[in-house]
Chain A
Amino acid sequence: MIKARNIYKTFKTTDRREVKALVNFSTDIKKGEVVVIIGPSGSGKSTFLRCLNRLDEIDSGEIIIDGVNINDKKANINKIREEIGMVFQLFNLFPHKTVFENVALALIVVRKKSKEEALEIARGLLNKVGILEKENVYPAQLSGGQQQRVAIARALAMHPKIMMFDEATSALDPEMIGEVLEVMKTLAREGMTMVVVTHEMGFAREVSDRVVFMDEGQIVEEGTAEHFFTNPIHERTKLFLSQIL
């Protein structure tokens, strides 16, 4: 479903240093697969996600999603993005819109659905993430965990084929992580293709099909969660796991 080949991505920092975020990065993600990407900060995990829906542009290489080269000039990036839901670390809910409007807006604006149709879809999704009773409040009145669940519902509203989670639980209070992970696990069990950047090893162990350990823009080691927690091979992986587990 996702084919990434030889991707390079370099950022320029404000003091004009060059930071290599992705170095000759390649991977394949199959339909229905749940891939967890782990690694130290600055290892390029988030950059990879952001390149998949072109929030960041790659310098070279090729990304093919569902047979479409997304960096092709002729590709309609807005259409591609509709198929890829993204959940952010800081939720990024629209603060001037109610919970219902947050979920329904793209349906109305992008998919040109009627308000009634959008309402029905939004209600269904808010119910699914367990927050239907809050549909008319503004995001500022919700807890972090509730906001993130709304953000997941918002991404699901476009009926995406792929869901990306960019450290979706990192900004949450510890007692709220569980409710968000629960929603993510449900999605995984339903067969959603997921690319998850996270530090939640419990999640990786429970639902992931494959764990990818990245460092300095490259894949150091990949395999099943089982492999990672019982016998990781590389020294770098062992060091990282010993620090976070």
Chain B
Amino acid sequence: MTFSKRSLITLVILAIITTATYYFFARRGITYIWHWERIPEMLFYHGPKSADDPVVRLRMGILMIGFVLTLKISIASTFFGIIIGTVVGIARLSNEPMTKGLSLAYVEVIRNTPLLVQIYIIYFFVGSMLRLSAFAAGTAALSIFAGAYVAEIVRAGIQSIHKGQMEASRSLGMTYAQAMRYIILPQAFKRIIPPLAGQFISLIKDSSLVSVIALADLMFQGQQAVARTYHAFEIYFTVAFLYLVMTFTLSMATQYIEKRLAISD
């Protein structure tokens, strides 16, 4: 089945579910008055911001501001997550007991404690010691969290490359680092794109937890908007849709990259 056919079917199914849900509530006689007309202004509006900033122009609404922050924190923690994960993934395969032990401890501690607790610890404890901003603390927590999962994916990827590749590289006089950089990691990364994509899609969604440290991300702004207007359904549907936009774009991007890298197969 071609890609366009598949996505068309997906869209049709989504549309049917949405419509069905909508009419289900209407039939049940829930007296909920929909105010979808209030949503656009939460994305973009034309007007003054406040008394301090009375210039009339196109401005981002509350949800869009949250969207941008979620996007920023997701990109930053994906970036650092890959770096941490790659370093730790390689360290996991080290013959040196100290390196091996420390990297294993990191992976196990991070994977076996809740992200929410990690965010609190990093924000209130580490963050106040190092005077980190909420954004820095949130990014750090998400990067460290993602790094542990990425490390295991990277390790599996490296181990899946035939050992003859390392031997051939070393027999040519390359150092271990050179062999990793030019031979092993490029092949490993190509193989682990699907699980990595899954991990970073999770990361985008998990980033909603940073709203607990008053970081004004998409989730936080959504809650604020609901508190102010009581349009819970419309706003949370919109918030969900905005997360979907980010994760779906990432899915498409990785599919594209996968296709591009398939040329040497």
Contacts and interface: CB of A to CB of B under 8 A. Distances in A.
Interface stretch (B129-137, B167-175, B215-223): B167-175
Given A92-B165, A138-B263, A84 B175 contact: no
B202 interface: no
A53 B182 CA distance: 21
A110 B170 contact: no
Interface string B180-215: 001100110010000000000000000000000000
Nearest to B179: A109
Contact of B171 (A53, A79, A95): A53
Given A92-B165, A96-B186, A96-B190, A86 B171 contact: yes
Given A55-B167, A94-B165, A94-B168, A109 B187 contact: no
Contact of A154 (B170, B172, B263): B172
Interface string A84-119: 111010101111111000000110011000000000
A140 interface: yes
A160 to B, nearest CB: 9
Given A94-B183, A96-B264, A158 B172 contact: yes
Nearest to A154: B172
A78 interface: yes
A155 interface: yes
B157 to A, nearest CB: 13
Contacts of B168: 86, 88, 92-94, 151, 154
A158 B174 CA distance: 11
Given A94-B165, A96-B264, A138-B263, A84 B171 contact: yes
Contact of A95 (B167, B173, B174, B264): B264
Contacts of A79: 173
A98 B264 CA distance: 8
A82 B174 CA distance: 8
Contacts of B165: 92, 94
A53 B187 CA distance: 25
Q: How large is the interface on B (under 10, 10 to 19, 20 to 34, 35 or more residues)?
A: 20 to 34
Interface string B155-166: 000000010110
A155 B173 CA distance: 10
A97 B165 CA distance: 12
Interface string A56-79: 000000000000000000000011
A154 B167 CA distance: 13
Contacts of B172: 81-82, 105-106, 110, 154-155, 158
Nearest to B165: A92
Contacts of A105: 172, 182
B18 interface: no
Given A82-B173, A92-B168, A109 B265 contact: no
Most A CB atoms within 10 A — which of B164, B168, B173, B190?
B173
6 contacts: A78-B173, A81-B172, A96-B187, A109-B178, A110-B173, A155-B171
Given A86-B171, A151-B168, 4 more contacts: A96-B264, A138-B265, A154-B172, A158-B172
